[in-house]
Structure formats: C-alpha cells, structure tokens
Amino acid sequence: MARIQTDKDVSRKEVIIKASAKLFREKGYKAASMRDLAVKVGVEAASLYNHIRSKAELLHDICFNVANVFFEHMNEVESTQATPIEKLEKLLRFHIKQMLENFEEVYVSDREWRYLADPYLSNFQNQRRSYRKRFASIIQQGIEQGQINKIDASTAVLVLLHAISGIDSWHRSTHKVSGEELEENIVTILIQGLQK
Amino acid sequence: MARIQTDKDVSRKEVIIKASAKLFREKGYKAASMRDLAVKVGVEAASLYNHIRSKAELLHDICFNVANVFFEHMNEVESTQATPIEKLEKLLRFHIKQMLENFEEVYVSDREWRYLADPYLSNFQNQRRSYRKRFASIIQQGIEQGQINKIDASTAVLVLLHAISGIDSWHRSTHKVSGEELEENIVTILIQGLQK
DNA sequence: CATATTTGCTAATGAACGTTAATTTTACGG
DNA sequence: CCGTAAAATTAACGTTCATTAGCAAATATG
C-alpha cells in the first residue's frame, strides 16, 4: 500500500495541495481530474478524500493563500514612508519574486480563480478589486506629486500586473535568464514607463 | 422548430463559431459544454453537428484565425522602413485595437490555445514562437541602434504582450476609459519604458 | 502486545460530457 | 404544389467525472 510521503511539519493535506497546484497549472482546473492528481500523489483517487473535502476546496485553498500573501505585503508597503515610485517598485519586485519562488500557486491563483464557487468567488473578486484599488491610489499619488506621467491609474495597474504575470516558467527554462536579471529587466521597463 | 438566424453572407457555421468564442471566453474551453453553446445559438445540442465537425474544430478555427491576422500584420510591419521604435509602436497599437474590436476571439486564442489537440497544438506553438522571435528581433535592433535600453529582448516581448492582454479586465470593469485613451495610456507606459 | 485511529483500497453511483443514428420538419427551386 | 436537400429534433451511446460506502491494512498509542 502506497503511502503519501511527508516530511515532518508537512501534513498529507499540504502535500496534496502542492501537487494540485502543479497539476492545475499544467492542465487547468477544469481539465485536471482527481485521477490525474492521485497519480501525481502516488495513491488511488478515492484515497485523497481522507485528507481533503473536495476538488473545489483545493482551488479555494490555493487562491486564498496567495491572495493573503499579497494582501499582507500591501499593508506593509502602505505603512512605510517611501515615495509612490519607491512603493511601486517594492510591489513590483514582490510580485516578480512571488512569481519566481511560488510559481505554481501564484499562476493558478491568477488564471483559475474564476472556477471558484460562490460565495468564495465573490469574496475573492472583492479582495482582488480592493488590492487593485490600493495599487491604483499609490499611482494616483505619484501623478499628483508630479513623479508619474498623467495616465489613467487603474489602466496602469492592469498593465503592470499583467506584464508580470506573463513571466511563466517557459521563459526561464528555455531562455536561461537568471531571476535577478529578469527582475531588473521588468522593473526597468515598467518603472521607467511610468516616470515623467 | 428554432432555426439558426443568419444575415446574408454569414453561414450558420460562422454564427456558431462566433457564439463559441463568446462562450469559451466566458467559461473557458473545458468548462463550456456543447449544450451551453446550443442554448446560446438557440437550438438543440445535436443540431450543431449539422454545421461543425467537433468542439475541437471550433477552438481550432478561432485560434488560427487570430494567429493569421497577427502574422500578416507582422509581415506588413517588417516590410516598412520605419525605425524599431516606430515598428514596435505599430505592433502595440495593432494588438490593442484587435483586443478591443475582436475581443472574444483574441482572448480565447490567447488563453485557451493549450487545449488544442495535436498536431494543431504544435503548429500553433510554432507560429507563436516565431511571432515572438520576430518581435524580439525588432527590439534587439532598437538596442543595437541605441534607441532602446539594454534589456533582454525576449523578456521585453513577454512583458509587452502580456501587458496588453491585461485589457480583458478593463472590458468588464464598470469604470470605463475610452478605447483611444486606453491605447494612449498603454503605449505611453510601454514605449517610454523601452526607450533610453 | 492490544487496540484505536489513520490511511489506503476496491467497487460502485449518478451526473455530465461529446457525439451519433434515425427521424421529422422546414425551406425552396421547378 | 411537389420533391429534395438542408436543418432541427429526440433518443441514445459510451466515456469520464467527482464523490461515497464499506472494508482492509498500516501506524500510533497505551
């Protein structure tokens, strides 16, 4: 009988969530089956249900874990005394770092959240909307202080966030750019693009 | 008996493809069922098969129609005598315009192509890779001519293209900016972000 | 070593899926 | 107004899906 392997301090549930993040990223939530997941974990499909409640719960856990990480970082950034441009640079670098270090989860949270079921769906959308609003208001401050070009702040947020989410694993594996180099390239384009 | 409505010069197949693009955008290819599509078209699910061969064919038609449009535009741009920066601006403006005027198809082609079946999948990936390479080499020329910052060209391509695909959320957002304003905002950020 | 709990297995369920076959209805040229 | 081809319908098919029930094995606890 094949057991789910766990290092200490890592529950079997966490092993399954991690595997599901990879699977959902590779195939998409809807196309990924619990049987696929079982193979990845090394167990029969039915056995998964000793540890999790449902497929939906997996997506839910992934999305909200990621959302909370970004939310907390936003709190941190807002509480500092930095200029708007410096704050934006901090946010961008954090997004890039998360995308590189936590790729599967961040990617899934970004692209597959629409398959969340209510009430989690509306919840997630609200959190997302709120995050973008706070992001936009930092840009707006930069505009009012004359550091940033006069552009529509919420359009700029979309441009920045989507530009970063485009950095998927394909890029690093086939093109062999280091994480640091990647970060500098992106920050150069986007921060300079905003500045006057 | 409900017939599929057609204006002249529009086949019933084209009506179905158009409806499927909207459906695939709303729900995702895998989550969209032929029964959903039938409802949208106003007919029973089985009736669709008088006009199309399969669900897969619908995705295939959407993706390759879009890919061909962008491919042809790239040919056009490359054959002009403009500077690299001017060429990039042309490409960006075309992407934005396509995203605004042809939203459903472009979005589906961008996000759902991975559900294409071989050999169409490899075909599409090759075309995509080739397009990005040509895009990157325009950036590279700009770097060598000293108009563009010394950055990794293929990273820049991903940043630019994904930044534009971020328009999708703008489409749904209640706070609407006009198409022209949107275009200017995006071009401002991205072109200025590249330039020295 | 005994026993309780956790974890895994096999088997099965009902629902949803894409698609096909057989048949009926509609539109239209002669 | 008839005959024919196009288009729509109903009914069904074989799969695949997420999930459950019941039982066996492994592990933890004392």
Q: Which CATH number goes with the domain that contains A86?
A: 1.10.357.10
The reply to whether B121 and B59 lie within a common domain is: yes
- Contact between residue A41 and residue A16 where contact means Cβ atoms under 8 Å apart: yes
Please tell me which of the candidates A182, A191, A193 has its beta carbon nearest to residue B190: A193
Mean pLDDT of the region B26-37: 98
Asked if pLDDT for residue B95 goes beyond 80, the answer is: yes
The reply to whether B92 and B136 lie within a common domain is: yes
The reply to whether B169 and B74 lie within a common domain is: yes
**Using CA atoms, how far apart are residues B74 and B94, in angstroms rounded to an integer?**
10
pLDDT at B175: 64
**Using CA atoms, how far apart are residues A169 and B171, in angstroms rounded to an integer?**
28
Q: Is B163 on the interface with A (CB under 8 A)?
A: yes
Nucleotide nearest to B2 (CA to C1'): D8
pLDDT along chain A (196 residues), means of 10: 75 96 98 98 96 98 98 97 94 94 95 96 96 96 92 90 82 73 87 74
Separation between the CA of A45 and the C1’ of C14 (whole angstroms): 18
Give the structural domain span for A42: 12-50
pLDDT at A190: 85
pLDDT at A167: 80
The reply to whether B103 and B178 lie within a common domain is: yes
**Using CA atoms, how far apart are residues A193 and A164, in angstroms rounded to an integer?**
14
In a domain, A1, yes or no: no
The reply to whether A91 and A174 lie within a common domain is: yes
In a domain, A159, yes or no: yes
Q: Which of residues 14-73 of A touch strand C (CB under 7 A)?
A: 43-47, 50-51
Q: Is A166 in Cβ contact with B163 (below 8 Å)?
A: yes
The reply to whether B71 and B157 lie within a common domain is: yes
Number of domains in chain A: 2
Nucleotide nearest to A53 (CA to C1'): D19
Asked if pLDDT for residue B161 goes beyond 80, the answer is: yes
Nearest CA distance, A7 vs chain B (angstrom): 34
Separation between the CA of A47 and the C1’ of C6 (whole angstroms): 12
Q: CB neighbours (10 Å) of residue B103?
A: 16
Residue A195 sits at φ, ψ, to 5 deg, of -65, 155
Residues linked to residue B44 through DSSP beta bridges, in sequence order: none
CATH number at residue B46: 1.10.10.60
In a domain, B188, yes or no: yes
Q: CB neighbours (10 Å) of residue A131?
A: 18
Nucleotide nearest to B12 (CA to C1'): D7
In a domain, A7, yes or no: no
The reply to whether B73 and B91 lie within a common domain is: yes
In a domain, A37, yes or no: yes
A149-183 burial, b for 16+ CB within 10 Å, e for fewer?
Answer: bebbbbbbbbbbbbbbbbbeeebbeeeebeeeebb
pLDDT at B22: 97
The reply to whether B61 and B17 lie within a common domain is: no
The angle subtended at Cα B182 by Cα B176 and Cα B188, nearest 5°, is 145
pLDDT at B181: 84
**Using CA atoms, how far apart are residues B179 and B181, in angstroms rounded to an integer?**
5
The reply to whether A131 and A173 lie within a common domain is: yes
The reply to whether A42 and A138 lie within a common domain is: no
B148-162 burial, b for 16+ CB within 10 Å, e for fewer?
Answer: bbebbbbbbbbbbbb
- Contact between residue B151 and residue B143 where contact means Cβ atoms under 8 Å apart: yes
Closest by Cα among B64, B91, B84, B165 to A168: B165
In a domain, A6, yes or no: no
In a domain, A3, yes or no: no
In a domain, B7, yes or no: no
**Using CA atoms, how far apart are residues B99 and B19, in angstroms rounded to an integer?**
17
Tokens coding B1:
């008996």
The reply to whether A130 and A36 lie within a common domain is: no
Lowest-confidence segment of A184-193, B25-34, B138-147, B148-157 by average pLDDT: A184-193
The reply to whether B125 and B33 lie within a common domain is: no
